[in-house]
Amino acid sequence: MEQGLNVCDTTTPNTRTITRNTDNLKSPSRETRLPAGRVSGAVRIAGLYGHNPKQNNLLAGLPVDDYERILPFLELVPMPLGMAVCEAGVEMEHVYFLTSSIVSQLYESRDGTATETAVIGHEGVVGVTLFMGGGTSLNRAVVKSAGYGFRLKASRLKEEFYRAGALQSLLLRYTQALLTQMSQTAVCNRHHSVVQQLCRWLLLSLDRLPSNEMSMTQELIGNMLGVRRESVADAAGKLQDEGLIQYTRGHITVLNRPGLEARVCECYAGVKAEYDRLLPAPLKR
């Protein structure tokens, strides 16, 4: 028996349930499915719970006609922590326009180590390989901050993309921004200190979060940055001593964002400026 508030769409014959229970976010296999093709009702229900496709900057940036054409096919889905949105070498069935969740794009080596190559939040979409034509990539995409997103079937996305209209233009610009972030991440990981990398990572995450708090263990941050846990502990200790963050048992609170911006390398500002230049809305809400 599920706990939490269940809401049913009583206006459609095939009623499905939306469960507002944050425990669900811990279960990668459980997904709120809203029926494609009749989602005007589903989106309406989502709206009752504060979910709106326009919480995604790309969808919000579409002209009305383009937006309304895909709106009936958008499905609200919970994005629980640890959910694999995309596996390396596997073609995705949907693209995911994120709203409140954050997804880490990462490469996993054969020895089991991983490095984050990009972070994606409400400004973007997971699944660029589908419309770029390659189908698959070497990267995985995993939810690192639980929340929600709206997904769209790959076939529907391709159909819209090949109209060569506003969505195509937005997605290409987004892809350029994503490539900028990926290349700058490579530079940062090679040339800048762990403290600077941690500042960059915190600020990139902060731009995609509604608050100044996040849950993340030092081990996971080390995995994201491709450095040892001890190095993350040293770097986090320095930032804490400087009064920039508070770090307690996997819970990070950013106390002084301007201080982090003063401490970070040029990689953060460069990437953010490109995102703000290329995309329809500033990165930070």
**Which residues of this chain interact with Zn ion, rule CB under 5 A?**
188, 192, 265, 267
216 vs 271 by CB, closer to Zn ion = 271
The two most distant CA atoms of the chain are separated, in Å, by 59
214 vs 265 by CB, closer to Zn ion = 265
> How near is the Cβ of 117 to Zn ion at its closest, in Å?
14
Q: Are 127 and 96 in contact (CB under 8 A)?
A: yes
> How near is the Cβ of 116 to Zn ion at its closest, in Å?
13
Residue 208 backbone phi and psi in degrees, to 5: -110, 5
59 vs 188 by CB, closer to Zn ion = 188
> How near is the Cβ of 242 to Zn ion at its closest, in Å?
18
188 vs 202 by CB, closer to Zn ion = 188
**Between the CA atoms of 266, 270, 273 and 278, what dihedral angle is there, to the nearest 10 degrees?**
-170
3-state percent helix, strand, coil for the chain, nearest multiple of 5: 45, 20, 35
> How near is the Cβ of 212 to Zn ion at its closest, in Å?
21
> How near is the Cβ of 18 to Zn ion at its closest, in Å?
41
Using the CB atoms, write b or e for 228-238: b if 16+ within 10 Å: eeebbeebbeb
Residue 11: Cβ within 10 Å count: 11
143 vs 267 by CB, closer to Zn ion = 267
> How near is the Cβ of 270 to Zn ion at its closest, in Å?
9
Beta bridge partners of 140: 106
Residue 152 backbone phi and psi in degrees, to 5: -140, 135
* H or E, element range at 105: strand 102-108
> How near is the Cβ of 187 to Zn ion at its closest, in Å?
6
CA distances (Å), origin 224, targets 116, 128, 197, 260 = 5, 21, 10, 19
CA distances (Å), origin 230, targets 39, 67, 168, 219, 222 = 48, 47, 44, 8, 8
188 vs 227 by CB, closer to Zn ion = 188
84 vs 269 by CB, closer to Zn ion = 269
